[in-house]
Amino acid sequence: MVLTVLLIFGGFALTHYFVNLHRITEMSLANRWFTRGEEAMQAHLYKAAADDFRTALNYNQEDRRYRLRLAQALMADDRLTEARAHLISLWEEEPANGEVNLTLARLEAKRGKYRDAVRYYNNAINGVWKENPRQARMAARFELAKYLMQNQKFGEARADLLAALADTPTEPADQLLLGQLLLELNEPEHALQAYDALLARDRRNAQAWFGEGEAYLALGQFNEAEHASEKAVDYDPNLDAARRQLELTREILRLNPSMRGLPLAERANRVAAAFEAALSRLSSCASQLNVDLGAPVGAESAMNTQGSTSSTAANDITPAPNALELLYTSGLEKQSNATARALLKNPDALEPAMQYVFEVERTTAPICPDMDVTDRALLLLAQHESETIK
């Protein structure tokens, strides 16, 4: 009897050993296939990745990570129905899982299901994250804001970003992204808050100074924009965007006739210089579009008779074939009254002359996007033309 009992226990132990050995082998194979799937994902071989993750799942069906990565690979391979089936199964088991909700949000966005995508994005923002939960929720909020902006839901995007601003991101990259997104939503004052929060901790952050310069430009506070842009260049001389922004800001300060404290003679000189720049801009734009500014107003432009493909493409977005001719003719008529001497004698002509400059810059900007720094400066001033020239 004792021998029988010993044989039974020995059999159980041996069976347990082989079961564990088999389980360890399966786990090892599952991990190996999962690693191959990760490598395939990094190489953008999504079909192969899905096959690898499916094989890993066959060896270890209890690992939710394998199921999630399989769904993500299927989604990347545009097999959305299969991906959604796996994700819904995961969501039903754990509806508060942040990563599952975020993946579902992206899938529904790809499917064009706006309401469902927004719902899952919000679930992800408020969901449970195993690693770096604060940063993960902030990233999900930014992704939602971008999605809302893509769908022209600017009010909702603004509300989400202001919520992010109130939450005060801790990562410098998040603060920079928040500031940039707020600028894209035409919220320069709130963007300044995001950049100020970062600069309070790191005064040498060139990107933050650059963002502040952008915000001040949008607000029409050009002296502050110059200071911020200078700081950006000082702290990172290789930041080309900051150098271009500083150049633009200084050109605005050189040309702007609305700056406080300018004597009349200086204002007259600036308006006269802007007027000549506008006439030059017209000539340059007309040359790009093959428009003959010397043709009689109302006559068909040379662009209509020439077979140039590039000219035809440009003409598709031109307001009218002779719009530049009309502006140019009008400018020639005003030219004698827009010299520095004439403006000094007749200050009432300062504002009409600048209005003409602004009209030229607004008209040419969409049809001739390539422009020098002077025209970019005048175009930006045109956006702030509500400032009265006194």
CA–CA distance, 119 with 124 (Å, rounded to integer): 9
Structural element, H or E, at residue 100: helix 98-110
What pLDDT was estimated at residue 131?
Answer: 87
Other beta carbons within 10 angstroms of residue 244's beta carbon come to 13
- Tell me the one-letter amino acid at 269: N
Q: Per the domain annotation, does 127 fall within a domain?
A: no
Q: How many degrees, rounded to 5, is the angle at CA 18 between CA 16 and CA 19?
A: 60
pLDDT in tens, the chain (390 residues): 766 656 666 656 556 545 555 456 656 766 787 788 888 888 988 899 888 888 888 877 777 788 888 899 999 999 999 999 999 999 999 999 999 999 999 999 999 999 999 999 999 999 999 888 999 999 999 999 999 999 999 999 999 999 999 988 889 999 999 999 999 999 999 999 999 999 999 999 999 999 999 999 999 999 999 999 999 999 999 999 999 999 999 999 999 999 989 999 999 999 999 999 999 999 999 998 888 886 544 433 333 333 333 444 444 444 444 788 899 999 999 999 999 999 999 999 999 999 999 999 999 999 999 999 999 999 999 988 754 444
**CA 168 – CA 370 distance, rounded (Å):** 38
d(C-alpha 385, C-alpha 258), whole Å: 9
d(CA 84, CA 325): 58
SS3 of residue 128 by DSSP? strand
- pLDDT computed for residue 11 by the predictor: 59
Helix axes 264-288, 373-382, angle to 10 degrees: 110
Torsion of CA 101, 103, 106, 110, to 10 degrees: -120
Q: Under 8 Å CB-to-CB from 51, ≥6 apart: which residues?
A: none
- Beta-ladder partners of 128: 97
Q: What is the pLDDT of residue 335?
A: 94
Does residue 339 form part of some domain? yes
Please state, in angstroms and rounded to a whole number, the distance separating the CA atoms of residues 130 and 27. Answer: 22
pLDDT for position 23 = 59
Q: What sign does the dihedral 232-234-236-238 (CA atoms) show? A: positive
d(C-alpha 270, C-alpha 251), whole Å: 11
**Which pLDDT does position 66 carry in this prediction?**
84
pLDDT for 2 equals: 66
> Within a domain: residue 91?
no
Give domain status of residue 94, yes or no: no
Q: Is residue 277 part of a domain?
A: yes
290 within domain boundaries: yes
Alpha-carbon distance of 109 to 119, in angstroms, equals 11
Q: Are 242 and 229 in contact (CB under 8 A)?
A: yes
User: What is the predicted pLDDT for the residue at 387?
Assistant: 43
Range of the domain at 338: 265-382
Does residue 176 sit within a domain?
Answer: no
Domain tally, the chain: 1
Residue 248 lies in a domain: no
Q: Are 60 and 27 in contact (CB under 8 A)?
A: yes
